[in-house]
């Protein structure tokens, strides 16, 4: 029988997703829960598992194409009814076509884990990237006439995208390294050796993040064209733009600034780095600020709240899901640290490190991006002192943290060189009065100026 798999709701009611790449092709035999494709929603790159065991008969979308939730994605030839696979409704109700696959696939009928199928990846001139093969020296590609059966090369989505921009076949890279995950360094080393182009790395970060940017020539009055690059607006960039416009025109933003002497905090961090009990734990200023923010929110609950227009209510949260703005190749994302108020300083430091590594690898899940009650944006990492951050939709406050600079400052009646930082707080004036916003900012600044004041917070 032919079974059709439709694009499921990948969480948060997202209406569509873009096919980043297919990991199967028509004629391939697939196992239950085997990864079929990588798709990019407005929030994250997600791997889609197969709800069937069978043979792929048709791919209903090309890589780079945007597919609506509920639309046909892939068809299988299934031997018969599989009670372990979800029932498909091929009628006019696409929303009932299959269950939400956020939980990553149907449960297998047997207790054994389905084996990962080795994919045929013959290293021949017919199957490998011909442009790379022609450019490579004869000893660059192992045995061009011998076909080998290997697993699909293991790598992360950003590495696969980087390899695609350079025209590198990851099968060829995998043949030259040990049995491990392929890194960006491996791809670059191979590209340098075979002479593949590296022009993509020299481009603007926005252009690097998009593989299908179109160069065009715009005519001018004197008849001489000037080069432009047009980049489709989609994925995270599209979602971020819509969210920021919605936030800017629905919530009345107010931004207040405060410059504070953080020398005592920097001294504290220096002592913590030298503490043998904390060996191996790199606690930075952002972890301290995250901890101080959680303490200050307990004293100003209006900044840890949401304006529910539809219900006509103000919702106060008794927990802090702390959003941390992260700049990635795909655009700005704000993953959350759940229940941050319950974490110690060292736990927050570890959570921040894990969050950053996951975001850079493009592995942040939709669930990690959902919700959030208050956010921090570390603009200081770019050398910026202050700004007016826009509220993430559904939140009433966001704190921008500026760069720490050593500069002349009044200290105990004299001028001395001190570590100074500017804090920028934006808040929703429907929920937060100016006095409450100023009190929160002063609480944060007081603890950064003298960390011992945290002992006074109830």
Q: Which residues are catalytic?
A: 429
Burial status of residue 132 (CB atoms within 10 A of its CB: 0-12, 13-18, 19 or more)? buried
**C-alpha span between 264 and 281 (Å, rounded):** 20
**C-alpha span between 281 and 268 (Å, rounded):** 14
Residue with tokens 């892939």: 74
H or E element that contains 247: helix 235-250
Identify the CA nearest to 260 among candidates 389, 397, 404.
404
**C-alpha span between 387 and 187 (Å, rounded):** 38
Q: Which two tokens stand for residue 127?
A: 């199957």
* C-beta of residue 364 within 8 angstroms of C-beta of residue 335: yes
- State the number of CA atoms in the 13 A half-sphere of 183 facing the CB: 6
287 Cβ contact partners less than 8 Å away, ≥ 6 residues apart: 345, 348, 349, 352
Burial status of residue 36 (CB atoms within 10 A of its CB: 0-12, 13-18, 19 or more)? buried
Q: DSSP character for 374?
A: E
Q: Which two tokens stand for residue 111?
A: 């207790």
Q: Which two tokens stand for residue 97?
A: 């076509």
Burial status of residue 149 (CB atoms within 10 A of its CB: 0-12, 13-18, 19 or more)? exposed
Burial status of residue 277 (CB atoms within 10 A of its CB: 0-12, 13-18, 19 or more)? exposed
Determine the length of the chain: 458
Q: DSSP character for 425?
A: E
**C-alpha span between 65 and 397 (Å, rounded):** 36
């Amino acid at each position: 029988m032919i079974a059709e798999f439709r694009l499921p709701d990948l969480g948060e009611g997202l209406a569509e997703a873009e096919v980043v790449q297919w990991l199967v092709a028509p004629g391939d035999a697939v196992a239950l829960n085997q990864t079929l494709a990588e798709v990019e929603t407005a929030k994250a790159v997600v791997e889609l598992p197969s709800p069937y065991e069978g043979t792929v008969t048709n791919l209903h979308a090309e890589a780079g194409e945007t597919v609506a939730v509920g639309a046909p994605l892939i068809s299988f030839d299934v031997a018969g009814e599989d009670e372990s696979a979800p029932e498909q409704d091929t009628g006019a109700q696409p929303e009932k076509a299959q269950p939400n696959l956020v939980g990553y696939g149907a449960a297998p009928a047997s207790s054994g884990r389905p084996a990962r199928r080795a994919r045929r990846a013959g290293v021949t001139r017919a199957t490998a990237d011909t442009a790379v093969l022609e450019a490579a020296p004869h000893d660059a590609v192992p045995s061009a006439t011998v076909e080998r059966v290997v697993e699909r090369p293991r790598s992360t989505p950003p590495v696969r995208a980087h390899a695609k921009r350079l025209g590198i076949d990851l099968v060829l890279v995998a043949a030259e390294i040990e049995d491990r995950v392929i890194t960006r360094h491996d791809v670059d080393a191979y590209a340098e050796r075979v002479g593949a182009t590296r022009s993509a790395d020299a481009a603007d970060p926005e252009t690097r993040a998009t593989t299908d940017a179109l160069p065009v020539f715009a005519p001018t009055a004197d008849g001489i064209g000037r080069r432009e690059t047009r980049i489709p607006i989609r994925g995270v960039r599209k979602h971020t733009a819509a969210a920021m416009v919605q936030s800017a025109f629905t919530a009345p933003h107010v931004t207040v600034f405060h410059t504070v002497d953080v020398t005592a905090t920097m001294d504290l961090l220096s002592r913590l780095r030298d503490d043998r009990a904390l060996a191996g734990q790199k606690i930075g200023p952002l972890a301290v600020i995250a901890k101080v923010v959680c303490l200050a929110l307990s004293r100003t609950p209006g900044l840890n709240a949401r304006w529910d227009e539809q219900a006509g209510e103000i919702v106060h949260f008794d927990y802090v899901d702390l959003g941390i703005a992260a700049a990635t190749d795909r655009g700005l994302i704000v993953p959350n640290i759940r229940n941050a108020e319950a974490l110690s300083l060292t736990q927050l430091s570890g959570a921040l490190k894990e969050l950053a590594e996951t975001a850079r690898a493009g592995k942040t899940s939709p669930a990690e991006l959902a919700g959030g009650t208050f956010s921090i944006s570390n603009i200081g990492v770019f050398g910026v002192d202050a700004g007016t951050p826009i509220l993430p939709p559904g939140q009433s406050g966001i704190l921008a943290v500026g760069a720490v600079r050593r500069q002349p400052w009044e200290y105990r009646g004299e001028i001395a060189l001190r570590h100074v930082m500017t804090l920028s707080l934006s808040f929703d004036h429907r929920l937060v009065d100016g006095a409450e916003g100023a009190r929160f900012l002063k609480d944060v600044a007081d603890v950064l100026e003298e960390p011992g004041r945290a002992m006074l917070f109830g």
